[in-house]
């Protein structure tokens, strides 16, 4: 893959005509005028993290980027983030990976734009602010497989009308995003999920309250450093796909005899009262 790192899009416009075959472009964190992008007709991945966008481009100016499938706008700064995001998402309906981290979504409505991303498989929203209703918006991306919302600021949890239903997710990572409730009250158990990471989320209640037993394809589970209590659910022994389990720093008691069949399962038990049988 032809990868290019530029500090200015002026290089694209005229100084380096050979860049038009570039498939992956990384733009240095500087103030940029993005009107030079339309000539990169072979571009597949575009990383504009932490750039200050000084000039918007219309959807028609992106027509040359028909092959773009990875777009990172993490930490962008612009005069009107809402307008910029709306215009950009409308321009690339065939994206597979989208990173729009470090953004306040409390005042940004992109419901239809997300719904139109019918091929989106990975969405990264780390260190962002959003209302609980935004999660409902994300569920309209039925092709979505991987969702990351690390260290997010989640508002309106008390207004939840019912558990949010993600249909096809395989990976959900929300470490550091505070729930202060049980997972089951906010998100309906996801049968397709393979990786679930919810450390430092303020989860409370028992492990039986989290809906874990209904996630029958789980391979990696990290619920460490919450305020969960009670015994380890016996149903976890039936989740034979498990490859790692982290339940550190919770008030979990009992033993792990039921997990003996998981011979190669790495388990983290720091600051718990669980007992590990010698057979494991």
Q: Using one digit for the tens of pLDDT, what is the confidence trace for 87-123? A: 888 888 889 999 999 999 987 888 888 888 999 999 9
Tokens of 66: 């028909």
**Residue for token pair 């932490």:** 50
Q: Structural domain tally of the chain?
A: 1
**Whole-angstrom distance, CA of residue 62 vs CA of residue 203:** 43
Classify 159 as helix, strand or coil: helix
How does pLDDT run across 153-172, given as a tens digit for each residue?
Answer: 988 877 766 789 998 999 99
247 domain residue, yes or no: yes
Any domain includes 71: no
* Residue 265 domain boundaries: 169-280
CATH number of residue 213's parent domain: 3.80.10.10
SS3 46: strand
Region of poorest pLDDT, from 1-5, 95-99, 142-146, 185-189 = 1-5
pLDDT tens-digit map of 31-52 = 566 656 666 778 899 898 888 8
Q: Are 206 and 213 in contact (CB under 8 A)?
A: no
Residue 179 pLDDT > 80? yes
Residue 177 has pLDDT above 60, yes or no: yes
6 within domain boundaries: no
Look at residue 173 and tell me if it is in a domain.
yes
Question: pTM for this structure?
Answer: 0.86
Residue 259 maps to a domain? yes
């Amino acid at each position: 893959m032809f990868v290019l790192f530029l500090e200015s899009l002026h290089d694209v416009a005229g100084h380096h005509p050979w860049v038009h075959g570039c498939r992956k472009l990384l733009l240095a964190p500087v103030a940029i005028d993005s009107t030079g992008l339309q000539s990169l007709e072979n571009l597949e991945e575009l990383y504009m993290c932490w750039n200050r966008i000084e000039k918007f481009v219309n959807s028609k100016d992106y027509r040359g980027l028909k092959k773009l499938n990875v777009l990172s706008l993490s930490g962008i700064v612009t005069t009107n983030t809402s307008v910029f995001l709306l215009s950009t998402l409308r321009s690339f309906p065939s994206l597979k990976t989208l990173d729009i981290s470090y953004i306040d979504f409390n005042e940004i409505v992109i419901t239809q734009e997300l719904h139109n991303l019918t091929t989106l498989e990975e969405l990264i929203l780390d260190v962002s602010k959003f209302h609980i209703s935004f999660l409902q918006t994300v569920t309209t991306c039925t092709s979505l497989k991987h969702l990351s919302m690390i260290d997010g600021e989640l508002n309106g949890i008390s207004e939840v009308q019912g558990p949010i239903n993600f249909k096809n997710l395989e990976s959900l990572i929300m470490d550091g995003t505070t729930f202060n409730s049980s997972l089951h009250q906010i998100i309906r158990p996801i049968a397709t999920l393979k990786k679930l990471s919810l450390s430092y989320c303020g989860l409370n209640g028992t492990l039986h309250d989290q809906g874990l037993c209904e996630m029958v394809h789980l391979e990696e589970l990290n619920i460490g450093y919450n305020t969960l209590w009670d015994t380890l659910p016996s149903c976890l022994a039936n989740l034979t796909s498990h490859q790692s389990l982290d339940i550190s720093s919770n008030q979990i008691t009992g033993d792990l005899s039921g997990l003996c069949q998981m011979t190669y399962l790495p388990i983290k038990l720091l600051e718990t009262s669980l007992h590990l049988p010698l057979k494991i």
